[in-house]
């Protein structure tokens, strides 16, 4: 069974993951409105990943006989000036999520809950990838500058991203 502190921290992380999904859905809609369908797709896939993360943490808590405390999800921003501003916000948000994940991993160690610590290590590693992905797009946007043709090339590349659930459904025995 999870401690009360870990139950609260993991519940907050579920909320953070679902907020991230809302944030990326909002960004996806804005990118779509800007005519950047590939950026919209990348952000939509990111939203799906965040929903999968929240669900995965929820299922872990249930497996550990803890009751997740589900709270209201904050409304995300509904306007961004363009792709560069969107991805700056993506990067800042992923840094915030990294800090939250690291806090839970540290708490799990302090509580001597090695199972929870091991569970959180997947997320620690995932956050390295999440920040790198955001940085990659930001770096490329910086190189592109104001060149519309190159922006459209990047947009087409981002359109190829597909959601792959990192947590396959459990099969009934």
Residue 158 has pLDDT above 60, yes or no: yes
**137-149 per-position pLDDT tens digit:** 999 999 998 788 9
Note the pLDDT of residue 170: 67
Note the pLDDT of residue 3: 97
Give the pLDDT mean for 70-94: 96
**Mean pLDDT, the chain, whole residue set:** 95
For residue 139, give both structure tokens.
Answer: 């770096």
Distant-in-sequence, close-in-space partners of 70: CB < 8 Å, separation ≥ 6: 11, 14, 15
* Residue indicated by tokens 């981002």: 158
Question: Is the alpha carbon torsion for 23, 92, 123, 57 positive or negative?
Answer: negative
Q: What percent of the chain has pLDDT over 90?
A: 92
Note the pLDDT of residue 35: 95
For residue 66, give both structure tokens.
Answer: 């803890």
CA–CA distance, 52 with 92 (Å, rounded to integer):
21
Distant-in-sequence, close-in-space partners of 89: CB < 8 Å, separation ≥ 6: 23, 27, 77, 80
């Amino acid at each position: 069974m999870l401690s009360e502190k870990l139950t609260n921290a993991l519940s907050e992380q579920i909320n953070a993951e679902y907020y991230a999904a809302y944030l990326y859905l909002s960004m996806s809609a804005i990118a779509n409105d800007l005519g950047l369908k590939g950026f919209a797709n990348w952000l939509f896939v990111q939203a799906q990943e965040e929903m999968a993360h929240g669900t995965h943490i929820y299922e872990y808590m249930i497996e550990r006989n803890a009751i997740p405390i589900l709270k209201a999800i904050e409304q995300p921003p509904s306007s961004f000036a363009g792709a560069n501003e969107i991805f700056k916000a993506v990067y800042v948000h992923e840094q915030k999520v990294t800090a939250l994940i690291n806090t839970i991993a540290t708490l799990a160690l302090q509580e001597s809950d090695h199972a929870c610590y091991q569970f959180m290590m997947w997320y620690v590693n995932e956050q390295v990838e999440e920040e790198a992905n955001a940085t990659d797009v930001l770096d490329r946007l910086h190189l592109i500058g104001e060149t519309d043709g190159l922006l459209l090339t990047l947009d087409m590349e981002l359109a190829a991203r597909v959601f792959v659930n990192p947590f396959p459904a459990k099969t009934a025995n």
